[in-house]
Amino acid sequence: LSSTAYGVRMLSKDLSNTKVELKVENLMIVTKKHDLSLLYLTRELVEWLMIHFPKITVYVGEDLKNSGKFGAEDICRDSKCDQRRIRYWNSKYVQDHDNFFDLVLTLGGDGTVLFVSSLFQKHVPPVLSFSLGSLGFLTNYQFEYFKDDLPAVLNSRIKTNLRMRLDCKAYRRRPPVTDPATGKKICVTELVAQHQVLNELTIDRGPSPFICMLELYGDNSLLTVAQADGVIIATPTGSTAYSLSAGGPLVYPSVNAIMVTPICPHTLSFRPILLPDSMTLKVRVSLKSRATAWAAFDGKGRLELRKGDFITIQASPYSFPTVESHPTEFIDSISRTLNWNVREQQRSFT
Amino acid sequence: LSSTAYGVRMLSKDLSNTKVELKVENLMIVTKKHDLSLLYLTRELVEWLMIHFPKITVYVGEDLKNSGKFGAEDICRDSKCDQRRIRYWNSKYVQDHDNFFDLVLTLGGDGTVLFVSSLFQKHVPPVLSFSLGSLGFLTNYQFEYFKDDLPAVLNSRIKTNLRMRLDCKAYRRRPPVTDPATGKKICVTELVAQHQVLNELTIDRGPSPFICMLELYGDNSLLTVAQADGVIIATPTGSTAYSLSAGGPLVYPSVNAIMVTPICPHTLSFRPILLPDSMTLKVRVSLKSRATAWAAFDGKGRLELRKGDFITIQASPYSFPTVESHPTEFIDSISRTLNWNVREQQRSFT
Amino acid sequence: LSSTAYGVRMLSKDLSNTKVELKVENLMIVTKKHDLSLLYLTRELVEWLMIHFPKITVYVGEDLKNSGKFGAEDICRDSKCDQRRIRYWNSKYVQDHDNFFDLVLTLGGDGTVLFVSSLFQKHVPPVLSFSLGSLGFLTNYQFEYFKDDLPAVLNSRIKTNLRMRLDCKAYRRRPPVTDPATGKKICVTELVAQHQVLNELTIDRGPSPFICMLELYGDNSLLTVAQADGVIIATPTGSTAYSLSAGGPLVYPSVNAIMVTPICPHTLSFRPILLPDSMTLKVRVSLKSRATAWAAFDGKGRLELRKGDFITIQASPYSFPTVESHPTEFIDSISRTLNWNVREQQRSFT
Amino acid sequence: LSSTAYGVRMLSKDLSNTKVELKVENLMIVTKKHDLSLLYLTRELVEWLMIHFPKITVYVGEDLKNSGKFGAEDICRDSKCDQRRIRYWNSKYVQDHDNFFDLVLTLGGDGTVLFVSSLFQKHVPPVLSFSLGSLGFLTNYQFEYFKDDLPAVLNSRIKTNLRMRLDCKAYRRRPPVTDPATGKKICVTELVAQHQVLNELTIDRGPSPFICMLELYGDNSLLTVAQADGVIIATPTGSTAYSLSAGGPLVYPSVNAIMVTPICPHTLSFRPILLPDSMTLKVRVSLKSRATAWAAFDGKGRLELRKGDFITIQASPYSFPTVESHPTEFIDSISRTLNWNVREQQRSFT
């Protein structure tokens, strides 16, 4: 058994080192909306793709459809390309075309990458993210070098980081019904929301002056009853986001863990805890809680949870593959953004 | 690729839920030495095993060989058993008999379990640990109930937790030699110690008044240069030990991570970090360090590291299987010992 | 100068050890409202005071005026006392009678003591707080022993802890006006709220999904621009309340400091800081902040702060004197409530 | 009483704003030894003082007495000064001349300032500290501008920060003696060391593999029994040194507190605590401790403490006055060195 376990570990390692060849036909571009400067950069990118990759059809957001500044017709005329090679996506189109796109390019910051995650609630194509200024945790390519980087990605074998997402299902407690046959009361719950999150699910007291009381279950066993401003259920990818503010550790993206980080806990002993990603978690607003709680999914989709409502959380079958720019990109990102490490000697304060 | 990753995760889950049947012929008992009260409990345990499990040969520590208080002969006479069924182990015997023991029983505290880990530097048999007083992190059975618990373990299928150990190799830097052929200098290092640790490797400044400067590498890339009193490289099992004192998070035993926790770091941004257990780490005393450093392996085997000396750390192929008393034993242990959780409502301090 | 500083320190020490004799004529009783069990205890207390301290007039909350369960008339008849010795207070009465009450007794928890603080926005009489169950940080007397404790307090010299309060003034930014003489724009601000807080002022992002950007000034110098979920400006008394949840240290009540504790800061280097209580602080919502902020005063009086609005904070001239039950009551309270210390040996987790 | 307390607070404030005029006749210069580049800078400084401040006698370290590179004779000849105006100090001279020096200038880092503190175990003259490179916490003047800064200090009224020091007395437990009169055993202790520390007293387990058990008393009441790698008893000045590494808060130099920060405590609830500087602390190695402990005074004077030995700590009557370069020097130093604050907007990591 011990050697099987070791074999699984080696399998994981091999898997994370596997390179795959992308055969890109349908390429999607996602940018931050309402940002004029991005429009011109998008145009530059599309035109370059038209010219250099004649087999690729490019999908841009439908808000660019009639944009004179983007100028799809001009691009095609200038690059002498078939107009049908520039197409438009919207949220519904993405939803209806599972397994359709071969690659997603993003222009923007980490927020744009999170938006891509929210678009693809099922299978996610590889995502390559350009930063326009300084690199972020999720944006590991610089736009200014796209003409160097994209051919390498499109023409050869690449490595992707399969970032675990959490499948969160929110259930509302309904009035119990009576079984007409037995006369027994039956608990009734209703699924009211479902989200795949890339960073974290946050459950907090929102505007309430009272702390909330949250029951945390793992595989249906009660782990703890948290009295706190809230709890964060984070992926390794989310370890550099809100969880870090709340005191959580850094977690390498490929670690197989779900992290529970309390927000301002009301006991001194409530340390962050890392649970295996094979565990199914449940957070339930205690019936004794003085306050309702508010859930947010990657910071969006705010939802009020009343007493007895709960959310189940488990590792999603739909992970989020990001194209790896180089093997040390995670350490580089925490060094750069958090000063976690500097390659030169750390400045000591004593 | 994404679905393969999901498959590996499910495989891990299945593996951790697999029950195996122990066929115990050679059973080893390990107790804390020089503790008289333990002697009588050991005797009680051995006699009970003699009577109820006639196929089992019991090995006790050789310090009991001529102990009148233990009284091997009396046990055999009283239980009418063949005297050859009580035998004696010592450190060398264990070393020479790889894959020989089918089960280890310990009487004592977590320290006794760590001692078992140090004895078995290669393959480790399943370990079942009795606590004499309050349960610990690694001692999940109470001795007072052994007559109920042992038959269940010995006669039916059990679950073990395969606790990852770290394979630590310490290398001393020797004077470089000159290649007579090319005239080039060649670095020379010598392996001076190797330990499988269950909790942690600690590298600290020891009695030096100066902090040490430690280079941390992951898969041969420099991750950071730590200026601190030291660093702790811990397993998930070790997350409840020294790493916790130094500010590290709690980590469920089955999470596939190696944790790096700084001890009193000299920068504010050096948070604990969890790295994948497929990574090979290296900690090297910087040539610029003002102080030498001291390594300790599960708190033992203290070794001075001079400038240029280093230790490599990787997940050991020899994990440490502990017999699981019940599925929530980890959460129970942190609740009980750290007050991490109380099943009743946590007492809030506001 | 050095010896003068030492003199001031000794003066502080003497001052904190000074005992004073209370001459109580007007005694106020404050209890948690809407709690029936408290009504009977209050009645018991009042009747006992009537009988044993004939010179004292007792003021109870006006909600008891016509309460049959309290039964003021019955008390007076039973204790053969003048009915004018039981009187009634309300918020306005307290406000109009500065320096009138000689002692306040509270029955309830720490929340009731905070309520007394909010009632007395100027001079505060000594406050003696009874706990009904387990003692709190501010409730250092047990109600069950009041017949032993009160005579000691009323008949002899007592020590009070002069707990520093913070005088918080919230200013709203109004549209600038033009000076008709010079044509220059003049900033206009309006005082919109003022509170003396005993625990803390909290400024956080409330229900906003965005973090807030808060400028912190000390004596009109910019100390930092905090990007965080919020900041807590706490007294030493407040160090055991919300600040502790957010990671702040414990502070002995007589330390002359104002503590600034960030809530989930977005940089790793924003440690809590203790500033001298002779400093005037100002927290201003940055004009660049994406979110408005919400202020709360001892958890009450929630107030939205828009960009440019600010709050000034300084040590109040009106400190909050609590009657000391015994010299180690602070250490006892943190031991009891936080397990900070146990008189027996601490249980170690390794 | 409340208004007296307020008066004392205002007195403190006034005191900390008081400017004094230095009348400097005897000026002492302290530099890091064995640093050749400092020798030339010292020479430059002395020569400039000779020329511009004819009433000042300069004392340099006696290791410069016969240093050709320093060249006292050359200085006097070049500056046409009386040779008696350059004199030499050593440790004993300083000790024998209490209240003799009017100003100390240091060239070096914070370590040099700590060395000055160790030299002056009683009254300390104002200390002005030059940094040679980047400013430190205690070195607030840049040497390159000394010709601008020194005249301002020597000719006009200045402000000093009276930094509290801790008076630490170490006592060794001797065998008890029997009182011949009564036959009773009498505890005997012997004072074995006394130090005024500017940063902190550290008591830790040193090279011992076991944690130490330390009893902490405040005004002779047991506050806690710490099981930890050690404890740090720090001044506000020391809050930016070792205490910070161990997790302590930042404390403004004028706050009247003594900080107790545990090093790797073995309970989750042992938060740092700030005690009033009017309290006398005592740290005693418990008779039950498995390890001895090691004390260090500002990182020096390492001393082993055996079971029953103890150290008393109280605010020293001899504070350490540093010349203030500008009112925000503390905040500037923590911003600069810790990135605690940056005047521009903090970079957020989300």
The ipTM is 0.93
Q: Which helix (H) or strand (E) holds C144?
A: none
Query: Looking at the complex, does the CB of residue A36 fall below 8 Å from at least one CB of chain C?
Result: no
Lowest mean pLDDT among B174-178, B310-314, D311-315: B174-178
Give A343's pLDDT tier (boundaries 50, 70, 90).
very low
Handedness of CA D281, D285, D289, D291 (dihedral sign): positive
Test C246 with A264 for CB contact under 8 angstroms. Answer: yes
Give domain status of residue A346, yes or no: no
Closest Cα of chain B to C112: distance in Å? Answer: 13
Which residue from B207, B300, B338 is facing D268, i.e. has the nearest CB? B338
Q: Indicate which residue of C35, C78, C96, C110 is catalytic.
A: C110
Closest Cα of chain A to D200: distance in Å? Answer: 13
Residues of A in contact with C246 (CB under 8 A): 264
Catalytic residue list of B: 110
Report the first-to-last Cα separation within chain C, whole angstroms. Answer: 49
Q: Show the tokens assigned to A109.
A: 């910051």
DSSP-based three-state secondary structure for A301: strand
Q: What's the rounded Cα separation, in Å, for the pair D95 and D104? A: 15
Which amino acid is it at B245? S
Give domain status of residue B343, yes or no: no
Is the domain of D260 the same as that of D288?
yes
Which residue from C18, C225, C271 is facing D1, i.e. has the nearest CB? C18
Test C349 with B339 for CB contact under 8 angstroms. Answer: no
Q: Give the residue among D232, D296, D112 at the shortest CA–CA distance from B208.
A: D296
Q: What's the rounded Cα separation, in Å, for the pair D16 and D213? A: 39
Does C348 score more than 70 pLDDT? no
Q: What's the rounded Cα separation, in Å, for the pair C22 and C103? A: 8
Residues of B in contact with D247 (CB under 8 A): 247
Q: Indicate which residue of A78, A98, A110, A332 is catalytic.
A: A110
Query: Looking at the complex, does the CB of residue D251 fall below 8 Å from at least one CB of chain A?
Result: no
Average confidence (pLDDT) over C302-310 = 96
Q: What's the rounded Cα separation, in Å, for the pair C166 and C311? A: 11
Query: Looking at the complex, does the CB of residue D268 fall below 8 Å from at least one CB of chain C?
Result: yes
Q: What is the pLDDT of chain C when averaged over all its residues?
A: 90
Closest Cα of chain C to A277: distance in Å? Answer: 25
Query: Looking at the complex, does the CB of residue C294 fall below 8 Å from at least one CB of chain A?
Result: yes
What confidence tens digit (pLDDT) does each residue in D32-73 have? Answer: 887 878 899 999 999 999 999 999 999 999 999 988 888 888
Test D263 with B268 for CB contact under 8 angstroms. Answer: no
Does C329 score more than 50 pLDDT? yes
Per-residue b or e along B6-42, where b marks 16 or more CB atoms closer than 10 Å to that residue's CB: bebbebbbebbeeeeebebebbbbbbeeeeeebbebb
What confidence tens digit (pLDDT) does each residue in C68-110 have? Answer: 889 889 999 988 888 899 999 999 999 999 999 999 999 999 9
Closest Cα of chain A to D240: distance in Å? Answer: 8
Is the domain of B9 the same as that of B101?
yes
Handedness of CA D321, D323, D329, D333 (dihedral sign): negative
Give domain status of residue C33, yes or no: yes
Domain encompassing residue A308: 166-318
Test B228 with D245 for CB contact under 8 angstroms. Answer: yes
Residue with tokens 């810790």: D338
Give B58's pLDDT tier (boundaries 50, 70, 90).
very high
Is the domain of B196 the same as that of B126?
no
Which amino acid is it at C160? T
A 10 A CB-CB count for D85 gives: 19
Q: Give the residue among B296, B134, B345, D322 at the shortest CA–CA distance from C348.
A: B134
What confidence tens digit (pLDDT) does each residue in C42-77 have? Answer: 999 999 999 999 999 999 999 999 888 898 899 999
Strand pairing category for A185-197 and A166-178: antiparallel
Q: Show the tokens assigned to C26.
A: 């007007």
Is the domain of A304 the same as that of A188?
yes
DSSP for A212-234?
EEEEEEETTEEEEEEEEEEEEEE
Is the domain of B306 the same as that of B327?
no
Q: What is the pLDDT of residue C335?
A: 82
Q: Are B263 and B204 in contact (CB under 8 A)?
A: yes
CATH number at residue C94: 3.40.50.10330
Q: What's the rounded Cα separation, in Å, for the pair A162 and A141? A: 17
Q: What is the interface size between B and C, counted as CB pairs within 8 Å?
A: 29
Does A10 score more than 90 pLDDT? no
Q: What is the pLDDT of residue B340?
A: 66
Handedness of CA D124, D130, D133, D135 (dihedral sign): positive
Which residue in chain D is spatially nearest to B227 when comparing CA positions?
A: D245
Is the domain of B154 the same as that of B246?
no
Burial grade of D170 (CB within 10 A; 0-12, 13-18, 19 or more): buried
Give domain status of residue C346, yes or no: no
Residues of D in contact with C1 (CB under 8 A): 15, 18, 20, 160, 162, 321
Q: What is the pLDDT of residue B286?
A: 94
Instruction: Look at D36 and D179; give whichever has higher pLDDT.
Output: D179
Query: Looking at the complex, does the CB of residue B156 fall below 8 Å from at least one CB of chain C?
Result: no
Residues of B in contact with C337 (CB under 8 A): 347, 349
Most confident of the ranges B219-223, C344-348, D134-138: B219-223
Q: What is the interface size between C and D, counted as CB pairs within 8 Å?
A: 227
Name D331's Cβ contacts closer than 8 Å, sequence gap at least 6: C218, C221, C223, C224, D340, D341
Give domain status of residue C4, yes or no: no
Query: Looking at the complex, does the CB of residue B294 fall below 8 Å from at least one CB of chain D?
Result: yes
Is the domain of C179 the same as that of C306?
yes
Q: Are B109 and B304 in contact (CB under 8 A)?
A: no
Is the domain of A82 the same as that of A149?
yes
Name D263's Cβ contacts closer than 8 Å, sequence gap at least 6: B264, D202, D204, D228, D229, D230, D231, D232, D246
Secondary structure, 3-state, chain B: CHHHHHHHHHHHHHHHHCEEECCCCEEEEEECCCCHHHHHHHHHHHHHHHHHCCCCEEEEEHHHCCCCCCCHHHHHHHHCCCHHHEEEECHHHHHHCCCCCCEEEEECCHHHHHHHHHHCCCCCCCEEEEECCCCCCCCCEEHHHHHHHHHHHHHCEEEEEEECCEEEEEEEEEEEEECCCCCCEEEEEEEEEEEEECCEEEEECCCCCCCEEEEEEECCEEEEEEEEEEEEEECCHHHHCHHHHCCCCEECCCCCEEEEEEEEECCCCCCCEEEECCCCEEEEECCCCCCCEEEEECCEEEEEECCCCEEEEEECCCCEEEECCCCCHHHHHHHHHHCCCCCCCCCCCC
Q: Show the tokens assigned to D94.
A: 């300083």
Query: Looking at the complex, does the CB of residue D268 fall below 8 Å from at least one CB of chain A?
Result: yes
Give domain status of residue C7, yes or no: no
Q: What is the pLDDT of residue D345?
A: 42
Is the domain of D173 the same as that of D233?
yes
Query: Looking at the complex, does the CB of residue B346 fall below 8 Å from at least one CB of chain C?
Result: no
Q: What is the pLDDT of residue B345?
A: 42
Closest Cα of chain A to D267: distance in Å? Answer: 9
Residues of D in contact with B244 (CB under 8 A): 268
Q: Are D263 and D204 in contact (CB under 8 A)?
A: yes
Does D337 score more than 90 pLDDT? no
Average confidence (pLDDT) over A123-143 = 92
Q: What's the rounded Cα separation, in Å, for the pair B279 and B226? A: 19
Q: What is the pLDDT of residue D306?
A: 95
Name C41's Cβ contacts closer than 8 Å, sequence gap at least 6: C31, C107, C132, C143
Give D344's pLDDT tier (boundaries 50, 70, 90).
very low
Which residue in chain A is spatially nearest to B317 when comparing CA positions?
A: A6
Closest Cα of chain A to D199: distance in Å? Answer: 11
Total count of domains within chain A: 2
Test D123 with C2 for CB contact under 8 angstroms. Answer: yes
Instruction: Look at D12 and C114; give whichever has higher pLDDT.
Output: C114
Is the domain of B266 the same as that of B173?
yes
Q: What is the pLDDT of chain A when averaged over all its residues?
A: 90
Residue with tokens 């030291």: B230
What confidence tens digit (pLDDT) does each residue in B129-166 have? Answer: 999 888 889 999 999 999 999 999 998 888 999 999 99
Residue with tokens 């016969």: D66
Q: What's the rounded Cα separation, in Å, for the pair B59 and B37? A: 19
Residues of B in contact with A15 (CB under 8 A): 1, 4-5, 8
Give domain status of residue C344, yes or no: no
Report the first-to-last Cα separation within chain A, whole angstroms. Answer: 49
Q: Which helix (H) or strand (E) holds C291?
A: none
Give domain status of residue B344, yes or no: no
From the candidates C264, C290, C297, C347, which should be mutated to test the interface with A, based on the most A CB atoms within 10 A? C264
Query: Looking at the complex, does the CB of residue B244 fall below 8 Å from at least one CB of chain C?
Result: yes
Which residue from B241, B269, B338 is facing C269, i.e. has the nearest CB? B269
Q: What's the rounded Cα separation, in Å, for the pair B37 and B34? A: 9
Which residue in chain D is spatially nearest to A267 when comparing CA positions?
A: D269
Q: Show the tokens assigned to D280.
A: 């006398």
What confidence tens digit (pLDDT) does each residue in D230-263 have? Answer: 999 999 999 999 999 999 999 999 999 999 999 9
Q: What is the pLDDT of residue C220?
A: 92
Is the domain of B152 the same as that of B22?
yes
Handedness of CA C324, C328, C329, C331 (dihedral sign): positive
CATH number at residue D259: 2.60.200.30
Is the domain of C192 the same as that of C273?
yes
Q: Show the tokens assigned to D57.
A: 């006698």
Does C345 score more than 80 pLDDT? no
Largest interatomic CA distance in chain D: 75
Which residue in chain D is spatially nearest to A110 when comparing CA positions?
A: D350
Average confidence (pLDDT) over B106-111 = 93
Q: Show the tokens assigned to C61.
A: 């909350």
Query: Looking at the complex, does the CB of residue D245 fall below 8 Å from at least one CB of chain B?
Result: yes
Q: What is the pLDDT of residue A346?
A: 40
Residues of D in contact with A244 (CB under 8 A): 349
DSSP-based three-state secondary structure for C297: strand
Which amino acid is it at B275? L
Reply yes or no on whether A110 is catalytic: yes
DSSP-based three-state secondary structure for D133: coil
Question: If contacts are CB pairs under 8 Å, which of residues 40-99 in chain C contact chain D?
Answer: none
Q: Compute CA distances B111 → A115, B106, B299, whole Å.
A: 50, 10, 10
